[in-house]
Structure 1
């Protein structure tokens, strides 16, 4: 039985890496005594995978993990969410569980985009008149950056991969047909909302966009001066 869980990662837990996050889920599921499925072989492990590992320091309301079970308790899915969260924390917790159909491809292979909020940690972090400059930035025919891969550094035009953007969360949500609800982000202030191409083939991180924007503005980008918050992931729908 394959499931897809949506979860929040916020607060101090943003500083734990991908592998520690996986261990957290493994231990929570063991403590909950759920009938999780294991791989075969000499070193069996729980069958789980993340849609897209979250970078250290990034918070999120829209993380997804696929977990396979032999069986589930006789609870409704909302009740199962409540039960599992008893074994988690208020900085990593599940908000939804969906049972996936037979033949379901893992979430990583279906991921096509992700929605982000980039927010100032302190007033004045963004360049002066940053909204006007952003408009000029996006009017360019192409936005070429150097993207590092495991084997090389290559030039990539990221403009086609900035699929949508706005300065207002309400306008951004309406534009994309989403309802983000209340975000678990530690900061409020000037914010930029972006939908970026994401997935195994092309993965554009908001850090790359911000580096290109600051270079366009001829401003020095101070490390850790803004907070990135992933609001949602977008997956291919059946038939696409």
Structure 2
């Protein structure tokens, strides 16, 4: 029977940006087992490790704070879990943070709200980029259409963008953005580049963080009754 659930934040580096999500899952399963940690498995003929990810990172992307929930059969101090797992990880897939979450908390994938990205664009003039971003953020909407094979998506790219900033760097500009990543829509930074800066190729995409809806009944009661009385 499951005894504990830990939320692990980890980094996916440049050298492994093209490995699949399944490879990442297998890596962490083996690392946890090598560390002698009591990883829980599902029941049935083909037991699966109880590892739940917020969202698979697209191939070619790196990540700085990817989210994985680990369910254990026995309780363990999160600091001890971290100490033992750090001994098994690598620079390419490295543990960043560990904390406990309730066993009954929503799965991270179903709790996703936003994803944060950083994109370096060589050759992009920072002043021109700022103007394009200013006009985009000032607009009421930007209808966008994506075609991936036979799949077609149409959505409002402006509404899917919480914020977007530009920073000058040597030889180009760096974009930072927060995009919708919930059950209704997952917007991608490639859409921002195609819509605002056509013809420019990025040096790479980095997902810098994931925003989850981590409300709990107890916290909501405190906010409703305790904080304001």
TM-score range, shorter chain: 0.7 to 0.9
Superposed CA RMSD? 2.5
Given the alignment of the two structures, is residue 12 of structure 1 paired with residue 15 of structure 2, yes or no?
A: yes
Matching residue of 1:210:
193
SS at match of 2:159: helix
Matching residue of 2:85:
84
Matching residue of 1:140:
139
Unaligned runs of 5+ in 2: 221-229
Q: Cα offset for 1:188?
A: 9.5
Deviations 1:75-113 (A, max 9, x none): x42342132011110111111112111421111111101
Given the alignment of the two structures, is residue 30 of structure 1 paired with residue 8 of structure 2, yes or no?
A: no
Cα distance in 1 for residues equivalent to 2:85 and 2:75: 11
Cα distance in 2 for residues equivalent to 1:98 and 1:117: 25
Instruction: Name segments (4+ residues, structure 1) moved above 4 Å.
Output: 125-128, 148-151
User: Which shifted more, 26-35 or 143-152?
Assistant: 143-152
Cα distance in 1 for residues equivalent to 2:17 and 2:65: 13
2:183 to 181, 200, 221: 200
The structure, 1 or 2, with the larger RCO (C-alpha pairs under 8 Å, 6+ apart) is: 1
Residues 150/3 of structure 1: CA separation in 2 closer, same or farther (3 Å cut): farther
Q: Cα offset for 1:147?
A: 2.9
Q: Cα offset for 1:46?
A: 0.6
Q: Cα offset for 1:152?
A: 3.6
Contact 1:34 1:72 in 2 (8 A): no
Q: Cα offset for 1:48?
A: 0.9
Contact 1:113 1:196 in 2 (8 A): yes
User: Which shifted more, 15-24 or 150-159?
Assistant: 150-159
Given the alignment of the two structures, is residue 47 of structure 1 paired with residue 50 of structure 2, yes or no?
A: yes
Matching residue of 1:183:
none
Matching residue of 1:172:
none
Q: Cα offset for 1:150?
A: 8.6
Given the alignment of the two structures, is residue 220 of structure 1 paired with residue 223 of structure 2, yes or no?
A: no
Q: Cα offset for 1:71?
A: 1.2
Q: TM-score, normalised to structure 1's length?
A: 0.80
Structure 1 residues 141-156: aligned runs within 5 Å? 141-148=140-147, 152-156=151-155
Structure number with the higher strand fraction is 2
Cα distance in 2 for residues equivalent to 1:39 and 1:149: 34
Count of matched residue pairs: 213
Deviations 1:53-76 (A, max 9, x none): 101111111100111110144xx4
